[in-house]
Amino acid sequence: MTAIRQDHLYGGFKQVVAVSIGLFLVFLDTTIVNIALPSMTRDLQIGLSTASWIINAFVITVAVLLVALGKLADIFGSYRTYMTGLLLFTAASLLCGFAPNAASLIASRVLQGIGAAAVVPASLVLVRAAVPPRQVGAAMGIWGGVGALAIAIGPSLGGIVTEYWNWEWIFFVNLPIVAVSLPMTTLAFSNHRDRRAPFRLDVLGVVTLGISLFGLTYAILQGQEAGWGAPRIVGSFAISLVSALLFLYIESRTREPLIELSMLRSRVYLAGMAANFLSGVLMMGTLIVLPLYFTNVKEFSVLTSSLMITPLSAVMLIVAPLVGRLIDKVRYYIPMLIGFGFAVAGFLLLSGLQADLSNGYLIGVMAIAGTGIGILMVTSVTIGTASVPEPQVSLGSAVYATARNMGGAVGVALFVSIMLNSANGYAASAAEEAIASVRQAELPAPVETKAIQWLNERQGSLLSGSGTEQEQGTAWSLELSEAERQQLDDSGLLAETTAKLQRLEQDLKTSVKDYTVKAMARAFTVGLILSGLFSISLPFLRERKERLPHTGNSTYSVE
């Protein structure tokens, strides 16, 4: 009997690993593309606003379709949906790599998003069904660990591929992974029989939810560029709200709703979804700001910057399986409490970011923040699959994945918005200080006038990274006419003036770095505030003895 159970458990975890490898592809694409955007912009001859849609097309598609495809997984079978999504994702990866222009690349990214939206919820159902109830936490730890591995190596792998090959290869690297995943999955599930529900799809629910999520995601992603008061942004928010209200009305009236609203009455489910949303905000927001810190402030190469970021997500490889085992023993409250504690500590340290911090210190801070994010992510995903009845697992996991993707979109928009708005305010201070230094330097009148004029003209871009190093300093002397230079040379002041300008240039560069880091620190302060605010959901995870809603053998209630 023991041998049979051990064989069943071993076979179950073979299925968990096989499915997780396929999921690796989807998670890898959430971080590997960002680092290659500058190369894509240059090769495809497009602007940054167009290039951003190479990422946005994928994010929006996944967010909009996760719930609908999670429902279809119940109808057509989780294994069939998973394999179809994996094959579509692979084919779309090939199309992305061979895309001749930006339009075709963006369209191919939409196809990738469709495949990803099918893989994620189906994989969660397969993972939960593969192992006995008491092992769900460990299985989810493996699932989360493989996803964390993809997130962890995405930036560094993208940096290596972009540095030594071409950006197209960030999509071609998916092929050898598929070559391993497909036969492994086929063998692991050779005796699997899908459970299929009757074909009843809430079309109106799919349409209204899709419109609501698209409108919200579009407004969030484009609000910073277009302006939050722009008509199309306000209109998108309004359409999203109206569509959401229509969706809730439809779901409360239809016999076969897309989302069982009863799920949303569970406090533990809502608390887990809030943590999952927060993990998306913190992860994607941080992955946007830190590369700018390492390239613009530390002046590292793209490859070195990508390697420096790795500890943030690499620590999840250690955290995920440990948290899974902890959940199996002590359930949700303690792991989530630890996760919030690490998140608050990590973002408290990041909010004190400075330009001259040592690499060792930064690695330690990123490891602390990454530990918090990883614990929140793994614990919340486990809650999403374990706190709902078996027939709703696919749907429940899809809602959770949607929350995380929406959190990622919000994180990118929020962190960038805070950073840029702060930078605009600090730029004036940096320019004023530099002008005061110029006046105190006792430069010749023509040089002082040129320097002050240069600062006044460029103060709006001092902290934006739009100016080159030459424009940020040596232009003061280069803009002098030959007659002015000759006059200074004749009076014996050229060498002294050049030396003063060089010192002023270095002081300005230091000031710009310091203020840039302050702007970045403000973005991380938002992460700290959000971590604290979302931690108020912790009491919802406290349990009282009655009955068991998810795994284990003890009797608890979380309702």
Report the distance separating Cα 274 and Cα 343, nearest Å: 14
- Residue 370 exposed, middle or buried by CB count within 10 Å (0-12, 13-18, 19+): buried
Tokens standing for residue 382:
């486990």
Which of helix, strand or coil describes residue 544? strand
Give residue 530's pLDDT: 92
CA atoms within 13 A on the CB side of 532: 9
User: What is the b/e burial string over 207-246, where b = at least 16 CB atoms within 10 angstroms of the residue's CB?
Assistant: bbbbbbbbbbbbbbbbbbeeeeeeeebeebbebbeebbeb
Q: Residue 385 phi/psi, 5° resolution?
A: -95, -25
Give residue 148's pLDDT: 66
CA neighbor of 400 nearest in space, from 34, 222, 140: 140
Tokens standing for residue 477:
């002397």
Report the helix count and the strand count for the chain, using DSSP H and E.
20, 0
Give residue 71's pLDDT: 73
Question: In Å, what is the CA distance from 527 to each residue of 103, 182, 211, 410, 415?
Answer: 34, 39, 28, 12, 8
Report the distance separating Cα 287 and Cα 230, nearest Å: 27
Report the distance separating Cα 381 and Cα 385, nearest Å: 7
Give residue 553's pLDDT: 41
Which of helix, strand or coil describes residue 115? helix
Give residue 223's pLDDT: 74
Q: Residue 195 phi/psi, 5° resolution?
A: -90, 130
Query: In which element (H, E) is residue 289 found?
Result: helix 267-292
Which of helix, strand or coil describes residue 557? strand
**Degrees (nearest 5) of the Cα angle 380, 140, 393?**
70
Report the distance separating Cα 303 and Cα 314, nearest Å: 16
Q: To which CATH superfamily is domain 1-189 assigned?
A: MFS general substrate transporter like domains (1.20.1250.20)
Q: Which residue type sits at 297?
A: V
DSSP 295: I
**pLDDT tens per residue, the chain (559 residues)?**
333 344 444 456 677 777 777 778 887 877 777 777 767 777 777 765 566 677 777 877 887 777 777 777 777 777 888 888 888 998 999 998 888 888 888 899 999 989 988 888 787 777 776 666 666 666 766 776 677 677 767 777 777 787 778 888 888 888 888 888 888 887 777 776 656 555 566 678 778 877 887 787 778 767 766 777 888 889 988 998 998 899 888 877 877 676 766 666 778 778 888 888 898 889 878 877 887 788 778 878 777 877 788 787 778 777 777 877 777 677 778 888 899 999 999 999 999 888 888 889 999 999 999 899 888 888 887 776 666 666 666 566 667 777 777 787 778 777 877 887 777 777 667 677 777 777 776 777 667 777 776 776 666 555 544 333 333 333 444 455 667 666 766 676 767 777 777 777 777 776 677 778 888 898 899 899 999 988 888 887 775 543 434 444 443 344 4
- Cα dihedral sign, 356-358-364-367: positive
Using only C-alpha atoms, what is the Rg of the chain?
26
547 Cβ contact partners less than 8 Å away, ≥ 6 residues apart: 555, 556, 557
CA neighbor of 522 nearest in space, from 312, 347, 357: 347
Give residue 197's pLDDT: 57
Give residue 465's pLDDT: 42
CA neighbor of 20 nearest in space, from 121, 142, 117: 142
